Every structure is written in C-alpha cells, then in structure tokens.
C-alpha cells in the first residue's frame, strides 16, 4: 500500500514535488518540519494505530506543535476490522497539532482487495497534485 501511495505521489505528470518515504520509527521532528505535506499510513492494531505510528507522534508532537499548524495531510489505514479506532486516535493527535486534513481518510478494512492499491495510488497522486497546483 505504501508503494502504491509513493507511485501516485511520484506520478510522471506531477512535477516539482520531492517525495520521500520515511518509516515512523526512523522519522523525527526535523523531517516533519521540513515537509510541505505528509501522508500518514498505519495498520490497525487492537483497534488503535500501530505502535510505530504512536511512537512517531510521541517523538514529534511537542517539537512540531505550533510550528506545523495547517500542515496538509492525508491518511491511509489497513484495518482488519473497521479502522475507526485507529482513525480516531490519529485524528485526536493531528487535531492537537492543528494539521489540515485535505482528503478523506482511506480506510482499507476487512479481507484484502486489490482495489486498495488503486485507492492508495490515487491518494498519493491527489495530495501531490494539490501541492503542485498550490491548492494545499
């Protein structure tokens, strides 16, 4: 799914956008502060975001607070259940950071469907195109 998001964000028809993949456990506030937008991706674990995503937020929250207000972001979740717990936990944190959600969250729940990859590619492409156009 992450690969599909990256493929969409790096689409040949979109120019002037530097796309970087950063793993949550390896990403710090410096990378977030340098970004113009962010796409968050997580699995649903026990009705919550992944531990790696929680660790990411724990480390970047205060250093980014009030410095990344209105950061455009999008979210995708791979959920075995409904994904609502993972979504709501992330929603509370990004609300505190005052980030701006620019797309509806993509929650890919239940049994695997190949269409999830198309939806992830579209998510990445839409955010990158919005940045290119100056919409976000």
Give 62-84 pLDDT, tens digit per residue: 999 999 999 999 999 999 999 99
Q: Determine the Cα angle at 59 with ends 57 and 65, to 5°.
A: 70
Give 13-43 pLDDT, tens digit per residue: 999 999 999 999 999 999 999 999 999 999 9
Sequence-ordered list of residues with C-beta below 8 angstroms from that of 91, at least 6 positions apart, any chain? none
Burial of 34: CB neighbours in 10 Å, binned 0-12, 13-18, 19+ = exposed
Average pLDDT in the 51-62 region? 98
Cα 99 from Cα 57, distance rounded (Å): 13
* Strand ranges in the chain using DSSP code E only, listed in sequence order: 38-45, 48-49, 72-79, 100-101, 106-109
């Amino acid at each position: 799914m992450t690969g599909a998001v990256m493929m969409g964000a790096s689409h040949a028809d979109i120019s002037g956008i530097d796309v970087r993949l950063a793993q949550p456990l390896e990403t710090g506030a410096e990378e977030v502060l340098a970004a113009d937008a962010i796409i968050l991706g997580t699995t649903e674990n026990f009705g919550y975001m992944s531990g790696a995503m929680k660790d990411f937020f724990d480390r970047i929250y205060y250093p980014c607070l009030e410095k990344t207000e209105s950061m455009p972001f999008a979210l995708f979740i791979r959920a075995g259940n409904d994904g609502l717990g993972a979504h709501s936990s992330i929603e509370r944190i990004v609300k505190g950071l005052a980030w701006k959600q620019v797309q509806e969250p993509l929650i890919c729940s239940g049994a695997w469907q190949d269409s999830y990859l198309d939806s992830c590619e579209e998510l990445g492409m839409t955010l990158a195109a919005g940045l290119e156009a100056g919409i976000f």
